[in-house]
């Protein structure tokens, strides 16, 4: 979908990627060529994203995270509301412990060492490399 700054839907045109962040790709629609006027933004889910599960350790409840859904959104839909602020993986407000499974870190908050430990992640944007994450909630 293309929208201009006034939320008008624009026809698909050539574009280039400005930023690939979290599970979304934000693309500047340049009208087909670099150097042409900015005409809008396109937001797409990463085509490689797949559904997975998260388990709330304290209750044992297992929640499915759809391919086009964030962990935070899936948790909220099940009544587990996390503190959120930026929802872009920048601020760390949603930082949550991971007891089992392998996070797919897509934030800009954690250091490389923290990511390598795999014992916490940002559910506003990060996903899973394993079929299930057990969350310290
Ligand atoms: S809400 Fe800011 S990193 Fe998740």
- Any ligand 1 atom below 6 A from CB of 17: no
Asked if residue 87 has its Cβ within 6 Å of ligand 1, the reply is yes
Atom 3 in ligand 1: which residue has the minimum CA distance? 89
Other beta carbons within 10 angstroms of residue 68's beta carbon come to 12
Percent of the chain with pLDDT over 90: 65
At 22 the pLDDT is 41
Closest by CA to 97, choosing from 61, 126, 131, is 126
Give the largest Cα separation in the chain, rounded.
54
* Number of Cβ within a 10 Å radius of residue 57: 15
pLDDT-based confidence at residue 47 (cuts at 50, 70, 90)? low
- CATH fold of the domain at 52-135: Ubiquitin-like (UB roll) (3.10.20)
- Which of 100, 121, 99 is CA-nearest to residue 110? 121
Q: Residue ranges per domain, the chain? A: 2-45, 52-135
Q: For the residues 122-131, what does the mean pLDDT come to?
A: 97
| pLDDT at 48 (0 to 100) | 80
What tokens does 83 get?
A: 């503190």
pLDDT at residue 45, as a whole number: 53
pLDDT value, residue 90: 96
């Amino acid at each position: 979908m293309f929208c201009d700054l006034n939320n008008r839907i624009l026809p698909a045109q050539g574009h280039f990627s400005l930023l690939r962040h979290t599970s979304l790709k934000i693309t500047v629609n340049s009208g087909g060529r670099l150097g042409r006027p900015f005409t809008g933004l396109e937001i797409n889910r990463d085509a490689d994203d797949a559904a997975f599960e998260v388990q709330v350790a304290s209750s044992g409840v297992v929640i499915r995270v759809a391919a086009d859904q964030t962990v935070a959104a899936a948790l909220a839909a099940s009544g587990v509301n996390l503190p959120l602020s930026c929802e872009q993986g920048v601020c760390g407000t949603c930082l949550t412990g991971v007891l089992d499974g392998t996070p797919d870190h897509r934030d800009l908050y954690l250091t490389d060492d923290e990511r390598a430990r795999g014992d916490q992640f940002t559910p506003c944007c990060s996903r899973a490399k394993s079929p299930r994450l057990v969350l310290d909630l």
